Amino acid sequence: MSVSKKTQNRIKPALAAKAKSYLQTMITKNKPITINDVTVKPGEQKIIDLPVAKLYTHTDVSIPLHVICGKKSGPCLFISAAVHGDELNGVEITRRLLKTSSLKSLRGTLIVIPVVNVFGIIQHSRYLPDRRDLNRSFPGSQRGSLAARLAHIFLHEVVQQCDYGIDLHTGAIHRSNLPQIRANLDDPETKSLAEAFLVPVLLNANLRDGSLRQAADEHGVKVLLYEAGEALRFDELSIRAGVRGILSVMRKLSMLPATKKPSKPHDPFIARSSSWERATQSGILRSLVPLGAHVKKGDLLGVISDPSDLFDQPEDEIRSQYNGIIIGKTNIPLVNEGDALFHTARFEDIQEAAASVEAFQTTAENRPNPVFDDQTLI
């Protein structure tokens, strides 16, 4: 049967348009992801339990993974929390992130791991039961220590499937950190993602042997490390800044649509270097500066007194050796000689950096109740 020229001319553009749209769908359609033999298809969201060693009580243990596979293609990003089992701000950050409505329009794949060190968190401990630090045990091995086995499983099943990662940490026990990003800022893409996190302080941190960040880097996965708050505590400012930062990085990666009301950026400043002021003697510390304080060389940061001789003994004054900003500090007044007390970061333009930190803290404090809508989050 022959088709008239007129009909052919009418059908051709329609077919071409259909083919183009099909091709576009094929190009932009996301790929499924398989973890531990469970496949998550585009448009699906699943919780996958990644089994690890049992407890000696015969109790099964697994790492819960929240996997969201967007319909359209985009990068694969992991968000990990509690690699150190006592660092809990990240656990709450991941909970709020998973409640965010804009994840419905996710492009690419998001893997959220609220607790990586499932053994440590049971015991409120940074470490594993074998007393090893998971963040010094990567890449790990199938036949190594408990920490090495956990590192190996996590690296192979999760990290290696991703293009980017954000690892959420807090200060150690009894120590608080001002919200900050640590990353390899010599890499231009990592630097632009670090800036997108919208915290005022960035540290160009060397890769540590055995860390998740180093193992990821060896597989071409770019990782930001977010440090904020204190172990075993929730800190609202750190949590909100963390959620906001992750969403902002996801927008930068085009995994989420641009917001109508972009957050006012606090210009981030890269610390030139940082160092700790340590206790000059054992005793009781009175801390005189808050996190985020702009200090000058010679400023009094705290005073240590000896409880056995309060009348005659001169007190030890801890003075800043540098002009800088306090980005970490101890919260416990009981100190031993040599203990790290105040972490000071130094900047090229200290006035500008101090103004940025102040603006960041003021914005966070002036917000009324926690708002969990990502459009209005601090």
Minimum CB separation from Zn ion for residue 87, in Å? 5
Q: Which is nearer to Zn ion, 169 or 251 (CB)?
A: 169
The span from the CA of 166 to the CA of 179, in Å, is 14
Q: Give the C-alpha separation, 230 to 214, whole Å.
A: 23
Residues in contact with Zn ion by CB under 5 A are 84, 87, 169
Asked if residues 42 and 69 have their Cβ atoms less than 8 Å apart, the reply is yes
Nearer to Zn ion, 48 or 159 (CB): 159
Closest distance of CB 275 from Zn ion, Å: 19
Q: How far is the CB of 347 from Zn ion (least distance, A)?
A: 24
For Zn ion, give the closer residue by CB, 87 or 195.
Answer: 87
What is the rounded CA–CA span in Å between residue 169 and residue 186?
22
Minimal CB distance residue for Zn ion: 169
Beta bridge mates, 76: 109
| Closer to Zn ion by Cβ: residue 84 or 240 | 84
Which residue, 87 or 316, is less far from Zn ion as judged by CB? 87
- Specify the residue, 167 or 316, whose C-beta has the smaller distance to Zn ion: 167
> How many whole angstroms separate alpha carbon 221 and alpha carbon 159?
8
| Phi, psi torsion values for 54, nearest 5 degrees | -70, 160
What is the DSSP code (8-state) at residue 262? Answer: P
Q: Is 276 in contact with 341 (CB distance < 8 Å)?
A: yes
Which DSSP string corresponds to 277-319? Answer: EE-SSSEEEEE---TT-EE-TT-EEEEEE-TT-TTTSPPEEEE
- We find the least distance from the C-beta atom of residue 145 to Zn ion, in angstroms, to be 19
Task: Using the minimum distance from each CB to Zn ion, give the nearer residue, 87 or 374.
Answer: 87
Q: Minimal distance in Å, beta carbon 168 to Zn ion?
A: 9
Residue 269 CB, shortest distance to Zn ion, in Å, is 23
Rank residues 87 and 235 by Cβ distance to Zn ion and give the closer one: 87
The Cα–Cα gap between 273 and 287 comes to 23
Cβ at position 43, least distance to Zn ion in Å: 34
Whole-number minimum distance, CB 227 to Zn ion, in Å? 7
In contact, 88 and 135? CB cutoff 8 Å: no
* Cα–Cα–Cα angle for 315, 317, 319, rounded to 5 degrees: 180
Helices 236-252, 350-366: axis angle to 10 degrees equals: 110
Which residue, 169 or 329, is less far from Zn ion as judged by CB? Answer: 169
For Zn ion, the closer CB: 23 or 332:
332
Q: Report the nearest approach of Zn ion to the CB of residue 20 (Å).
A: 49
| Token pair belonging to 76 | 């694969």
Shortest distance in whole angstroms from residue 84 CB to Zn ion: 4
Bond preceding residue 139 cis, omega within 30 of 0: yes
Q: Between β-strands 324-330 and 340-346, what pairing exists: parallel, antiparallel or unpaired?
A: antiparallel
Residues contacting residue 171 through CB under 8 Å, at least 6 positions apart: 177, 227, 229, 230, 231, 328
Tally of CB atoms within 10 A around 126? 22
The rounded Cα 256 to chain-centroid distance in angstroms is 18
